Structure 1
């Protein structure tokens, strides 16, 4: 049997209101979530609820492919994420196929499955699971993604359940596309901020070396990079250490040009 999912066994997830349309409920999830990660986890729980029912045995994960890397960005439980990650370790499986090729992939019974070799089917079946359904999202160039549903019952996603999953992913693809776009911009902003912060502390360290060694900028940069290489440390970390070292009482830096006498 599957380990208890605290959300599914407790009923519908936060934001689920049968009187609202799916899109309206997704909007509520966005508004009620504290951050992007929480929204995606709530979306996975909501997806399992919408497709398989609030008290059913289905697990759900959302796989995102970006820059040739695959990751589960939302999961209904830790167990769902662990099962998704089996595919990433093997570089093959239904959710990867569904996302890459943008087509639905159904595994009625893992016991009789051999499309991805015995390793995949055996590893997932060892978690007590028997059927898998992966349905692609259509993100229109933002990235590639798939909704992954797992059940301990064979043939769980036959007929109406598969049709419901298909229609559901079409409905929420736009919301997920927006979420991924926000994530991309957030990542870019974070990377830019980190780059600017690194650039600032490196420039400060170069200025300190120039003053202490009475040398030009090019020489100071070489001293700093040599110290980074010799100490096997990141340039930003060694620059930060230098800047902090001169923050208190007059502290002589050990980053001096080799062979150059200490200034007096």
Structure 2
């Protein structure tokens, strides 16, 4: 992922970044509702990421209307694709590059988006593209009430966040597709549970975090050309058989 900003030697706080990713994982790993996962994501980021006053997500899906989620409903307008390509979120989605403005009071891009943002009390913005799967892309949009607080540290953290969130949201999409219509809630719960069990098995075997375990599971699904749930069931069953013997 490229960035439109100048390089910096400033490093993000390792503990703070780890805590943020842990919170995001805890909020999304068991979800099978994509829109609910977006709502949980923006609230978690708003509360856990230093310097961020509000958080929004803009999502563009093939064959479906775009989605917007925001930690503050009155700011949803800033993430809305109805305003066309003139705004940080859509620029980030279209260019696949991070978009940053530390102080919107001196910003000359994205008019009249900037005017709306300033009127709502936003002084800084950082939009980072996120890839969910082949059919869904989006942007995580971070907003600050004060100018100059979205720094190089937040940029690096946002890049890690986007990669992490993309994997988790992809898993949510997988579980949602497996669940299908909610006519059989017991089956829906079982699909999510077996995937979570398989993730736990991989984490134990490899000593890796949940996102890496999910990446391994999804890669196996793609390589074998079988549904994610089937891969998870085979793994969980295999482990159970070894324990029984």
The TM-score, its normalising length taken from structure 1, stands at 0.53
**Secondary structure of 2:39's match?**
helix
Aligned partners of 1:48 and 1:60 also within 8 Å: yes
Aligned partners of 2:126 and 2:150 also within 8 Å: yes
Offset, 1:37: 3.3
Question: 82, 85, 88: which is aligned to 2:82?
Answer: 88
Offset, 1:171: 2.0
Distance verdict in 2 for CA 1:136–1:159, change over 3 Å: same
Matched, 1:130 2:128: no
| Distance in 1 separating the partners of 2:116 and 2:160 | 29
Distance verdict in 2 for CA 1:112–1:27, change over 3 Å: closer
Q: Partner residue of 1:71?
A: 67
Aligned partners of 1:33 and 1:39 also within 8 Å: yes
Offset, 1:186: 7.9
| Distance in 2 separating the partners of 1:160 and 1:70 | 30
Matched, 1:38 2:36: yes
**Secondary structure of 2:94's match?**
helix
Offset, 1:140: 4.0
| Distance in 2 separating the partners of 1:63 and 1:82 | 11
Offset, 1:88: 2.9
**Secondary structure of 2:49's match?**
helix
Residue-by-residue CA offset, 1:13-34 (whole Å, 9 max, x unaligned): xxxxx8x865654443246769
| Distance in 1 separating the partners of 2:165 and 2:44 | 11
Q: What do you get for the CA RMSD once the two structures are aligned?
A: 3.1
Offset, 1:130: 0.9
Q: Relative contact order: is structure 1 or structure 2 higher (C-alpha 8 Å, sep ≥ 6)?
A: 2
Q: Partner residue of 1:60?
A: 55
| Distance in 1 separating the partners of 2:58 and 2:76 | 9
1:1-264 map, 5 Å = 25-30=23-28, 35-52=33-50, 58-67=53-62, 69-72=65-68, 74-85=69-80, 88-117=82-111, 119-182=112-175, 185=177
| Distance in 1 separating the partners of 2:110 and 2:24 | 34
Distance verdict in 2 for CA 1:65–1:131, change over 3 Å: same
| Distance in 2 separating the partners of 1:180 and 1:79 | 27
Aligned partners of 2:86 and 2:110 also within 8 Å: yes
Q: Which runs of 5+ in 1 are unaligned?
A: 1-17, 191-264
Query: Which one has the largest radius of gyration?
Result: 1
Q: Which moved more, 1:38-47 or 1:142-151?
A: 38-47
The TM-score, its normalising length taken from structure 2, stands at 0.57
Offset, 1:172: 2.1
Q: Partner residue of 1:254?
A: none
**Equivalent residue pairs, number:** 166
